[in-house]
Structure formats: C-alpha cells, structure tokens
Amino acid sequence: MAQIEPKPGIMEIALYEGGKATVEGVSNVVKLSSNENPYGPSPAAQEAVRRTVHELHRYPSTDHAALRQAIAEMHGLDAARIICGVGSDEVIHFLCQAYAGPGTEVIHTEHGFAMYRISTLAAGGTPVEVPERERVTDVDSILNACNENTRLVFIANPNNPTGTMIGLAEIERLAEGLPPQCLLVLDGAYAEYVEGYDGGARLVEMRDNVVMTRTFSKLYGLGGLRVGWGYAPKHVIDVLNRVRGPFNLSSTALAAAEAAVRDTAYVEKCRDDNTRLRAWLSEALAEHGVPCDTSTANFVLARFGSREEAEACDAYLQTQGLIVRRVAGYNLPNCLRITVGDEASCRRVAYCVGQFKAGAR
C-alpha cells in the first residue's frame, strides 16, 4: 500500500500547549497561565452575546462590516484596510499561507510567539530564529538574517512571553531596512496595555510593507470567542481576503467584539488596574529575590536562578492552587510567566513565591 505522508514541514510542528487550567487533586485554583483578563468581558459585550441567541440559525456576515467599522471608528483607522480572523492567530496563518511557502524564509525572534514557527511550517516555509538582546527584540539581528528568500518578519511588540518592547524609531528602522519582497508583521496582541501606543497603525499607513495584528482575547476578555484583526496596506488585505473563509467568525463573536471595542470606559479601567497591579507584582517578586524585566503587557516574566528552581517553584505554586506558565518552550527554561490577575490573585502568588524562596516545598 502507498504510504500517505503530509507535506514537508508538517511533522516538524510541535503541538501547541496552552496554559494549564486545572491541577489534579486541587480545587479552587487561580489560573494565571494564559494572560486572560481577570475581570472578564465588559457588561456590554456580555449583553451583546445574549442578544444573538435568537439568530443562531442565521449565517454570520461574510465581510464583518459592522465590526470593521467599529474598530475603525474607535482607533481612527480605515475600515477598508481591516481584516478579521479567528483570533490574531488566524491572521498570522493567513499571512504565512499567502506569502510563505517552499523555498521561502520567515524570521522570528528566539523568544517570539510559537505560532510564527507553526504557521510558517504549515505553509511549507522555513522558520529562521534570530537572537534577542537580553530578552528584547534586536533589530540588527533581524536585518542581518534577511536575504532574497525572506518573505515575512514577525515581531510581537510588546513581546510574549518576555513583556518587553522596542520603540517606534527601531520599528521604523527595521521596516526601512527589509528587502523589497518582505513584509514586517507587528503582532500587537498586548498593544492595548501600553497607554498611547497605536500598535504600529500609523506606520502601516505610511508604508506598503508593514502589517499590524491585534486581538480581543486579552484586554477585551474575549479569549473564549476567538476574535482578532489585522490592519494592512490594501494590496495585502486584497490578498488575505482571498484565503479567508467567508464565515470564519460567528455572529456571537462579531457582536461581542463590536460591543467590547466601543466600551472605552471598561477598557480604560482594566488597563489602569493592570498597570497598577503589574508594578506591584514586579516589586513584590523582586523583594523575594525573583527579578522581572520591565513588562508592558498583562504578565510578568519571573526569572529564577536555574531551570530546576523555576520548575520547583511552579510545582509548589500548583500545590497552593496557583497555575502559572513554564516557558522552556520559548527558550526561557529558568523563567515562569505569571499573568497579572486581580489584586487578591497578585497578592496570593507573591506571598507563595516568597514562601517558596524561604524554603517551603
């Protein structure tokens, strides 16, 4: 019998592991492993979901016009240059599907989001990992790795799982220095957590080689509905819409996201609380001898002395009903990524890390 084989690259994909949500034998756990908004979605988004239940037999919009218009209005963008996807992951997948393939290369940084490599391999392209400088994106490393085969460069800004980011001048230098056949993709999943930062939207409008992706899964609290979007030059949007499925987002997801993006008061409250508690958590961990890089997202990257210590701390936290994220798969074996939860969760995790460092096991 003929042997049925997938195309090259598929079996090189390591299965994505999401953040744990349960601990065997432990009840009342606090999940701080997936960078979710601890307050959930806004009341307006919840009400929008309830209103859709009577129309679930109807197909959703194929062009996402209402959501794209709402995003455009709230961010001061051109709705015609917006594409929506099943999380920003799907927009990343569209980009690889459309622009990468056999004989092409896609660059990502050593601590970059796992989906860049996964989507590149799924498209048949070759992922190229470049070093960072002390867990910060290094523009020179990226530019030095570019060649005639480079089609896409992915950077998350702020980055996941480090929480660090680079400034607009460095992003502009990167966009200017890329080869002519290459797109720069600015992953802005955590951009809303940075006051006054547009995620790179203005740069998208100034250049024809920059794409921005965003999500409703983090600050907006809609991770369970999977809604993301991208902003790009019209020539890129035209290409991506040719590979996007016509009904990729449900009516419920579209309605919730539209309500969420318009509820600016709720967004500001969540951002302010995160900023305050992120600073408190970072300082509290430092006092226990666990430093963190300056984070601009809704998590901190706690650095331990060794992989063994990080894993032992994680195991101890689980016994206390606290779930954080090991990030050895992101080349950070001596670190734990800890979501900034509500105040009670932050105080609890800081206390337990302190107990661990004091000798509790």
Q: What is the pLDDT of residues 252-273, one digit of tens each?
A: 999 999 999 999 999 999 999 9
Q: What is the pLDDT of residues 56-105, one digit of tens each?
A: 999 999 999 999 999 999 999 999 999 999 999 999 999 999 999 999 99
Q: What percentage of the chain has pLDDT greater than the value 90?
A: 91
What is the mean pLDDT of the segment spanning 320-335? 96
What is the mean pLDDT of the segment spanning 197-203? 97
What is the mean pLDDT of the segment spanning 19-29? 77
Q: Is the pLDDT of residue 146 over 80?
A: yes
pTM of the model: 0.94
Q: Is the pLDDT of residue 360 over 90?
A: no
Q: Is the pLDDT of residue 1 over 60?
A: no
Q: What percentage of the chain has pLDDT greater than the value 70?
A: 99
Residue 361's pLDDT band (boundaries 50, 70, 90)?
low
Specify the higher pLDDT residue, 173 or 25: 173
Q: How far apart are CA 135 and CA 141, in angstroms?
A: 13
Average pLDDT, the chain: 95
Q: Is the pLDDT of residue 326 over 90?
A: yes
